[in-house]
Amino acid sequence: MQQEGIEFTESVSIAATHPCLPGHFPGQPVVPGVVLLDRVAARLDREGMGPIQRIASVKFRAPLLPEQEAQMHISVTEGRLRFRFVRENHILVSGEGELV
């Protein structure tokens, strides 16, 4: 029996005061990819979906700057995870993985 897909969308903005930013990169801060991946994991946790077992691929296409808003889209079907961050119809990050 095939499980229906589940989808989540939420706005994401990282404050300019986030502790990771001073070192990434001094004078021209960029939100680290791991912070965005943490947002994916946190949303899955809040929804009771369990932890990510494996991230099979991630493609960082464009940076997210502090205080910029992006939309995080997550879909889960039969334990397969797909996610992307989009700002103004441009994909910033996309990836796939598996849940436990």
What tens digit of pLDDT does each residue of 33-56 get?
999 999 999 999 999 998 999 999
Domains of the chain: 6-99 (3.10.129.10)
pLDDT digits (tens, 9 = 90+) for 50-95: 899 999 999 999 999 999 999 999 999 999 999 999 999 999 999 9
| 75 close to 91: Cβ distance less than 8 angstroms | no
| Cα separations in angstroms, 51 against 11, 36, 47, 85, 87 | 21, 15, 11, 19, 26
pTM of the model: 0.92
